[in-house]
Structure 1
């Protein structure tokens, strides 16, 4: 099934999408409420809702399907790592540490936007970028989950655009921490969550999904790739995220950006120049993933933000020691 969050002139509601109609699920007050009920009960509620009258999608506004408690974003595509490293810090190749385990960083659940929302870039960026990803939505709590058991912990899948300000990211990562303000201003989720049982038709015997992904800017195709090129399965991402920790229903685990032009920075690194150019105000970015759908966002004008002063520098004594 496809579960969506939508607004139709009143508070946001949850529904199941069939063709071009959404059938409200009144028993769920939010998508997080539905996910926490578990996949089996959610499918039951969806089946019941499909027996009632629906609302045309043209008469409602789709919201981000979920406001997640946490968001981990992985980097599971080798080709993406190779291209972006060259763009961000001039390095070549893929570091050995990438192959050891599926690395991730925590991104900002408070900055989630939905289909057709305007994305406001940071005021100081001159290198705004998109990132084409697919995200798994956790549907069952677990700690140190095995890869074999992790499939039962996945509720479904949605599209993720991990928007990035590359110039800000490049500067702040010189402090040897992960990206911060270069990333946490916007994350698109949508257009809905496709349940794991429905997405399974694209799953191979090896656990990887043969799913085509594409990104366009102003109607021009910039990149395309398949999830079959991930370095790890989504089950491995769940297992690693939960190691010595926890995953809970509603947590979002991003695949990381696909290769072959899944973001501009990868292309910049390979070409040695910013071609295509960074995103500008008014640009329209559309991500399309086979078996899920499409999400479109328009880049809006940046806002003025209050300044934050630089750090105080410590004064050194005449002897060279610290005062």
Structure 2
């Protein structure tokens, strides 16, 4: 099942997508109801969907408002390219191989496909990041690799837009990503339930889905989700260690190999291709899920925060 939030004829709806049409579910059904339901229960709710319209008649919304967004960095190729921005001989930190690292992102800064994305204030090195997100459907804590998959309700495309120069300042403070990340992420175009993708697993049990990104129609990178060094099951084990995962939580895979400009800059030793700028359009497709696209627009001027009181 493909679960979408959309606006049509001046009203917001939750619906199910079939081919090029979306049908509205009953008003009392919300996203969490579907995420926590069994496949049979979801099918029963979908049977009552009505008023089908074509997708080109609606404005898609981000498919949910998650309680928490945890974004991992699971692709070794991506990490290798990014560390090379520090120098051609830079190596992946040994700690990366010891646990699947993640940061917390801003659940209130989610955008949908078709939304304009503003360049964040003071950013000069604006970048996209091609990822897949797993959406939690069953709560759990201290999960195991064997049981973690059962807690995933579905998947969506995730683009955690990045201000690379702002990240450089964040890194100096040693507090994790802050203004380099919390301004925008795109999630969508809808949630594809996990049962729909089970047939796409490779011999290691990873979802083998081709991921591709274009900038203004030019292909910039492509990889498979199966290339991730850390599986979603391993990510969930780490995320749930001593902490609860709850329905609606978003777990980002991290950027795939070739899935951002920063990786290319690191490997080439130059800001080539150039950073994103107003007027650019970024399009991402993941097999079995769909396509998202966003246009870049100019952002607000930074507001001066003043100076601290010094001792």
TM-score by length of 2: 0.95
C-alpha separation in 1, matches of 2:28 and 2:274? 43
C-alpha separation in 2, matches of 1:37 and 1:94? 41
Change (3 A) 1:242 1:251: same
Deviates more, 1:34-43 or 1:198-207: 34-43
Measure how far apart 1:53 and its partner are.
4.4
1:304 corresponds to: 301
Other structure's SS at 2:180 match:
coil
Other structure's SS at 2:196 match:
helix
2:262 corresponds to: 265
1:35 corresponds to: 35
CA contact 2:31–2:64 (8 Å) conserved in 1:
yes
2:18 corresponds to: 18
Gaps of 5+ in 2: none
Taking the TM superposition and a 5 Å limit, the aligned residue runs for 1:162-241 are: 162-241=160-239
Change (3 A) 1:40 1:256: farther
Other structure's SS at 2:238 match:
helix
C-alpha separation in 2, matches of 1:142 and 1:105? 19
CA contact 1:191–1:294 (8 Å) conserved in 2:
yes
Gaps of 5+ in 1: 315-323
CA contact 1:145–1:242 (8 Å) conserved in 2:
yes
Taking the TM superposition and a 5 Å limit, the aligned residue runs for 1:36-51 are: 36-37=36-37, 40-49=40-49
Measure how far apart 1:165 and its partner are.
0.3
TM-score by length of 1: 0.92
C-alpha separation in 2, matches of 1:305 and 1:33? 40
Measure how far apart 1:87 and its partner are.
1.9
Taking the TM superposition and a 5 Å limit, the aligned residue runs for 1:44-59 are: 44-49=44-49, 52-59=50-57
Q: Over alpha carbons, which structure has the higher Rg? A: 1
1:277 corresponds to: 274
Taking the TM superposition and a 5 Å limit, the aligned residue runs for 1:79-118 are: 79-87=77-85, 92-118=90-116
Instruction: Determine which structure has the larger strand proportion and give its number.
Output: 2
CA contact 1:132–1:258 (8 Å) conserved in 2:
yes
Measure how far apart 1:38 and its partner are.
5.3
C-alpha separation in 1, matches of 2:296 and 2:129? 14
CA RMSD after TM alignment? 1.6
Measure how far apart 1:66 and its partner are.
1.2
